[in-house]
Structure 1
Amino acid sequence: MQNGLLAKLDKVLSPIGVKLGNQRHLQAIANGMMFGLPFLVIGSFFLIFANPPINLDRYNPETANFFMHFMASWKDFAVANYDAITLPYNMTMGIYGIVCAFGIGHELSKTYERNAPMDGMMALIIFMMVATDVKDNKLAMDYLGTNGLFVAILIGLLSVELNRLVDRDGLKINMPSTVPPMVTTFINSLIPLTVNILVFYGANLLIHSWTHASFPEFITKLLTPATSIATNLWGFILIVTIGNFLWLIGVNGTSIVFPILFALGVSQSGMNADLINHGQAASHLINLQMFRISVLGGAGNTLGLVLLMMFSRVEKFRSIGRLSFIPGMCSINEPVIFGSPIVFNPILGIPFILAPIVNLLLTYGAQKIGLISLGYIVDPSFTPFFAQAYMSTMDWRNVVFWIALIFVAMVIYLPFFKVCEHNEKMQEQAM
């Protein structure tokens, strides 16, 4: 910590981080999201397996080698059995909001020395009431995963506080000591659960009647920026940055800006493909490759951070880094976002915002001067970044450039990570 920059960062940011880390509700959010980390890690592997890195539109069985035949067979198998393969994903990452609603409610309840399992279960039930819809006897899962995380955080915290308010106002029934504890728990849960349903589900119904959208849909619409500014470099960067800021408060920002950026990228890549098809040079710089770079290793370009964590002297970081490496190669980084955590972390939040901005500027400049090729092919999602780099341009220079960008992100994250690593070591020694 003799380095001047690290010392200044530590002096300015660490007190903020410590204060936030010791705040009851933020601590409950961090611990509650950490509670669901195993579900994120396991679910990500099944998602990767269901999306093999091959574009069948460009596959020619007559000229393909053994490896490409294998990849094509894998793709055919994955498409034919997609629902079965992705069921573990749907029941892990796909319900991460449910897990967090319970975990956050449980952790906050523990700090108040309440019945934590019951409070956590109430938060879970209420979250499902406001985050799901039932049509034709089918349960909609659109907002049960990371897309509904912001609502899960709110419900996890507010439900417990509402239960405390009910108890404080004397609505709790004091039973004789001869009554079994489970009976007492049952009776004293009826009023808080009823109040929770009336308040939160009632609010959801009001929002639906006014806006014709559920509470999570309403929040998403409020947070979705306008599409018109995305067609130039600075507007594109602004939208990416808004999405990353949302991640820092527990909202899946990528899912909110994805419709804008992905649709724009596909459109511009299609225009480039049309130009190439007519013997002209690709010219649209805000293509799908730019979107892929914005989430290189996941939102915040965290693959660079993952590499640093893999070789950390702190066991916690080292374990999370190694678990997050393979998902991170496929731009799935919820394990590191919620495991580090980056959410509500003012120290890691700075490079999380900064790294994508720098890498997008470098990519735009490299495309403009012809150092790398412009994207003109729509590559598959959730495939390793090096496969996307090649498949979107059919140019190996882009693979090398994307790898270089990961090391750029490492450099950006390094001083901030060193501060976090130092503080974590100090906490371990104090325990």
Structure 2
Amino acid sequence: MISGLERLLAPFANKLGNQRHLQAISNGMMMSLALIVVGSIFLIVANPPINLDLVDLNTGNIFLKALIGWKQWAVANYNTITIPYTMTMGLIGLVTSFGVSYCLAESYKMKAAINGIISMCVFLMIAAPVNDGQLSMAFLGADGLFVALIIGLLSVEICRVVGNKVVFTFPESVPTAVTNFVNSLLPLAANIIIIYGLNLIVIAFSHQALPELIMSILTPAISGVDNVWAFMGIFAFSNILWLFGINGSSIIFPIVFTLGLTNSGLNADLVNSGNAAEHVMNLQMYRYAVLGGGGNTLGLVLLMCFSHVKHLRSIGRLSVIPGICGINEPVIFGGPIVLNPILAIPFVLMPCISIGLGALVQNSGLVSMGYIIDPSFTPFFAQGFLSALDFRNVIFMCVLVAISVAVYYPFFKVYEKSIDEKEDQE
């Protein structure tokens, strides 16, 4: 099976992997990996795995008292705790625009740092407009990632065209910094006129800036998702967006999370009145679909932890704790899964399997239907128990992790071998 997949996928993957612009995207995203990992840790610290509405605040249980104290401290100091997250993960779009343009310019033997700075400045003009002296951060993070990729590539191409047409030369006595400064003026001006000008045209016609327009187009106007097939479809759509560096989770989140909250609340009313819960598409189903993060990547992370490829092994071990808490940006951008035709298949397929099996075990009574709103960024095994106070759900989620390992395994081995061959060639 692995040999067949290798014959089918490896040539296509190698061709894509050697494409200059895709390499720049992959390498540029890798530059932001440390920000993603560190930001994830602070997000976990700010969201302790306990819901104060569901526990006795005067309990004598030492473990619960510690969690209650942690939660109360986190709520009181939430803004302070999450500043490192805001200034790392919250700036992932900005950093990516620099990283992608830097790597692409480097491949062209251009001044990489200057091109990175130009790209970053143009991205700020478009994604972070100033209102009343304040900078908007709405699209500096993952929501602005797609625009960051476009600007990172386009700005370098503009600089390359302008730089080839107009180059100022000076005597050797003139410092290099002065030469670089003069030769960067026209490329910067061209970038502002073309890219920022395009943004102004978009605003004039749509009354939305470029990042807002793209997100509004991508946000699916889907109603009637209260069934397993629509739920599968919407998560498949989300994960396909992730493959292009677009935060698909943020786009579908208002739809699927609201549905989960509503149905969990309806189930809670039924249970409170002495009846059995009957709404399958509850918050518990949402947790199945994002077990380990988008794409159910916890199984992939476990495989990466034992890879003989040092790069994959390091990413895997860094991603274990965030993955257990449902945060998987380190593996999405560090693996990477973005623009990876081999890992794309299980990344889209596995959540659909989890949703289908989740509906099956809930409808058959093997697992209680979710009726409790559990805290976000809680370790998956704690969420599994808290959603219905049913330990069988924890066992089922562990089974889903094992299935994730099996589904990802053949594709991971093909990808691992392709990296080996690439390293041998280099």
The bucket for the TM-score relative to the shorter chain is over 0.9
Which of 275, 283, 288 is matched with 2:283 structurally? Answer: 288
Q: Report the alpha carbon displacement of residue 236 of structure 1 after superposing the two structures with TM.
A: 1.1
Residue 107, structure 1, aligned to residue 98, structure 2: no
Q: Which runs of 4+ in 1 moved over 4 A?
A: none
1:420 corresponds to: 415
Q: Could you give the per-residue CA deviations for residues 137-178 of structure 1, whole angstroms, max 9, x where no partner exists?
A: 32221211122111110000000001112123x233233333
Which of 11, 18, 27 is matched with 2:23 structurally? Answer: 27
Q: State which drifts further: 308-317 or 406-415.
A: 308-317
Secondary structure (helix, strand or coil) at the match of 2:275 reads coil
Q: Report the alpha carbon displacement of residue 223 of structure 1 after superposing the two structures with TM.
A: 0.6
- Aligned CA RMSD, in angstroms, stands at 1.2
CA contact (8 A) 1:379 1:392 kept: yes
Read off the aligned partner of 1:140 and give its amino acid letter: S
The aligned runs of 1:110-259 (5 Å cut-off) are: 110-168=106-164, 170-259=165-254
Read off the aligned partner of 1:351 and give its amino acid letter: P
Q: Report the alpha carbon displacement of residue 64 of structure 1 after superposing the two structures with TM.
A: 4.8
Read off the aligned partner of 2:149 and give its amino acid letter: I
Q: Report the alpha carbon displacement of residue 429 of structure 1 after superposing the two structures with TM.
A: 3.3
CA distance in structure 2 between the aligned counterparts of 1:131 and 1:245, rounded to whole angstroms = 23
Secondary structure (helix, strand or coil) at the match of 1:107 reads helix
Q: Report the alpha carbon displacement of residue 278 of structure 1 after superposing the two structures with TM.
A: 1.7
Identity of aligned residues (%): 53
1:317 corresponds to: 312
Q: Report the alpha carbon displacement of residue 121 of structure 1 after superposing the two structures with TM.
A: 0.7
CA contact (8 A) 1:37 1:338 kept: yes
Which stretches in structure 1 are left out of the alignment for 5+ residues? none
Read off the aligned partner of 1:69 and give its amino acid letter: K
Q: Could you give the per-residue CA deviations for residues 223-243 of structure 1, whole angstroms, max 9, x where no partner exists?
A: 111221422211111110000
CA distance in structure 2 between the aligned counterparts of 1:175 and 1:266, rounded to whole angstroms = 66
CA distance in structure 1 between the aligned counterparts of 2:156 and 2:9, rounded to whole angstroms = 30
CA distance in structure 2 between the aligned counterparts of 1:152 and 1:62, rounded to whole angstroms = 49
Which stretches in structure 2 are left out of the alignment for 5+ residues? none
Secondary structure (helix, strand or coil) at the match of 1:360 reads helix
Q: Report the alpha carbon displacement of residue 269 of structure 1 after superposing the two structures with TM.
A: 1.0
Q: Report the alpha carbon displacement of residue 135 of structure 1 after superposing the two structures with TM.
A: 2.7
CA contact (8 A) 1:229 1:236 kept: no
Q: State which drifts further: 379-388 or 225-234.
A: 225-234
Residue 361, structure 1, aligned to residue 353, structure 2: no
CA contact (8 A) 2:59 2:65 kept: no
CA contact (8 A) 2:384 2:394 kept: yes
Q: Report the alpha carbon displacement of residue 54 of structure 1 after superposing the two structures with TM.
A: 0.3
Q: Could you give the per-residue CA deviations for residues 275-300 of structure 1, whole angstroms, max 9, x where no partner exists?
A: 11222111111111111111110100
The aligned runs of 1:79-94 (5 Å cut-off) are: 79-94=75-90
1:404 corresponds to: 399
The number of residues matched between the two structures is: 426
CA distance in structure 1 between the aligned counterparts of 2:60 and 2:281, rounded to whole angstroms = 31
Q: Could you give the per-residue CA deviations for residues 241-265 of structure 1, whole angstroms, max 9, x where no partner exists?
A: 0000001111111111111111111
2:367 corresponds to: 372
Q: Report the alpha carbon displacement of residue 190 of structure 1 after superposing the two structures with TM.
A: 1.3
1:65 corresponds to: 61
Read off the aligned partner of 2:77 and give its amino acid letter: N
Residue 15, structure 1, aligned to residue 16, structure 2: no
CA distance in structure 1 between the aligned counterparts of 2:205 and 2:254, rounded to whole angstroms = 24
